[in-house]
């Protein structure tokens, strides 16, 4: 009798283990089918394609950023709010291109919507995107000068193993007309190749064009050769986890 009870308990326990195993596998499949978005204030990238990165610098930490020269950056406070300050500029690299910018650490995206508040101390600031390496990336130059006055200011520029070249924004109004805080937005759609750059000085994008030279990479903030401030950084993408590299040859550009 005791042996029969033991055998019966063993069979029940084995069935329970089988059902637990099935449930674990099913939950794993559901997680793969419905991945959770990545939401973080520190740069931790995983296999999910959905990325939401925010940093208002209130925690006093810069661990989420790859700082080219850590001593050049500091978190300061003003009116009870913290922000990221560039303490000094750095000379551009050869071939001529910016190097004093900080990408979000470990986060590669293709299409994205990036927003931040920017305040220039000199004449301009930049946002870098689809950054592959120091010789392959886009950046938008946000300036007090229109491109019609300064040909290398206020627009979208391409660095492709050669000195940077303008690809948008020659006749646009200045993105940072004064030294106040301005809301800046960069929207990238690698499917269509479209790049749009917005400033709160206008209800329409200041720079719009199409280019598919780079379709994946990091996003960063900084300046070409001046200093300034950033706050309330917000990056959203459903195209995360991609591998940086070059895409097809650039398409015809629509420059505004």
For residue 3, pLDDT over 50 is answered with no
For residue 253, pLDDT over 90 is answered with no
Measured distance CA(211)–CA(181) in Å, rounded:
29
**What value does the mean pLDDT take over residues 157-175?**
97
Spatial strand order of the sheet with 124-133 comes to: 101-103, 218-222, 124-133, 136-143, 155-160, 165-168
Residue 84, phi-psi category: left (phi > 0), alpha (psi -120 to 50), beta (remainder): beta
Residue 47: both structure tokens together: 């296999």
Q: Which residue has the higher pLDDT, 110 or 19?
A: 110
For residue 53, pLDDT over 90 is answered with yes
For residue 36, pLDDT over 50 is answered with no
Residue 232: both structure tokens together: 């309330």
Query: Tell me, what's the pLDDT at 113?
Result: 98
Contact 156, 170 (CB under 8 A): no
Q: Which of 176, 179, 213 is nearest to 193 (CA)?
A: 213
CATH of 36-237, one of 2.30.42.10, 3.30.1490.20, 2.60.120.560, 2.30.40.10: 2.60.120.560
Measured distance CA(37)–CA(53) in Å, rounded:
10
Residue 214: both structure tokens together: 């780079």
Concatenate the DSSP letters of all residues of 75-103 into one string: EEEETTEEEEEE----PPBTTTB---EEE
pTM: predicted TM-score of the whole model, two decimal places: 0.80
Q: What is the 3-state secondary structure (H, E, C) of 177-217?
A: CCCCCEEEEEEEECCCCEEEEEECCCCCCCEEEECCCECCE
Contact 172, 155 (CB under 8 A): yes
Measured distance CA(233)–CA(231) in Å, rounded:
6
For residue 163, pLDDT over 50 is answered with yes
pLDDT band at 245 (very low <50, low <70, confident <90, very high): confident
pLDDT band at 48 (very low <50, low <70, confident <90, very high): low
In this predicted model, what pLDDT tens digit does every residue of 138-162 receive, in sequence order?
Answer: 999 999 999 999 999 999 999 999 9
Residue with structure tokens 């206020």?
Answer: 154
For residue 200, pLDDT over 50 is answered with yes
Strand partners, 54: 234
Query: Tell me, what's the pLDDT at 13?
Result: 45
In this predicted model, what pLDDT tens digit does every residue of 60-106 receive, in sequence order?
Answer: 999 999 999 999 999 999 999 999 999 999 999 999 999 999 999 99
């Amino acid at each position: 009798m005791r042996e029969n009870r033991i055998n019966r308990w063993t069979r029940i326990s084995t069935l329970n283990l089988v059902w637990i195993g099935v449930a674990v596998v099913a939950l794993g499949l559901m997680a793969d089918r419905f991945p959770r978005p990545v939401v973080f204030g520190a740069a931790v990238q995983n296999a999910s394609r959905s990325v939401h990165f925010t940093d208002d610098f209130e925690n006093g930490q810069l661990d989420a950023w790859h700082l080219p020269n850590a001593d050049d950056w500091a978190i300061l406070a003003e009116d009870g709010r913290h922000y990221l300050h560039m303490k000094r500029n750095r000379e551009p690299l050869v071939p001529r291109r910016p190097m004093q910018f900080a990408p979000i650490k470990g986060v590669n995206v293709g299409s994205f919507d990036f927003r931040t508040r920017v305040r220039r101390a000199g004449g301009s600031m930049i946002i870098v995107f689809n950054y592959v390496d120091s010789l392959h990336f886009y950046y938008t130059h946000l300036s007090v000068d229109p491109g019609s006055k300064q040909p290398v200011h206020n627009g979208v520029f391409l660095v492709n193993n050669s000195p940077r070249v303008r690809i948008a924004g020659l006749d646009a109004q200045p993105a940072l007309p004064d030294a106040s805080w301005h809301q800046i937005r960069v929207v990238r759609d690698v499917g269509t190749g479209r790049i749009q750059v917005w400033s709160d000085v206008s209800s329409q994008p200041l720079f719009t064009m199409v280019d598919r030279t780079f379709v994946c990479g990091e996003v960063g903030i900084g300046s070409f050769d001046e200093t300034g401030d950033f706050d309330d950084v917000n990056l959203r993408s459903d195209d995360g986890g991609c591998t940086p590299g070059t895409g097809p040859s650039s398409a015809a550009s629509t420059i505004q």
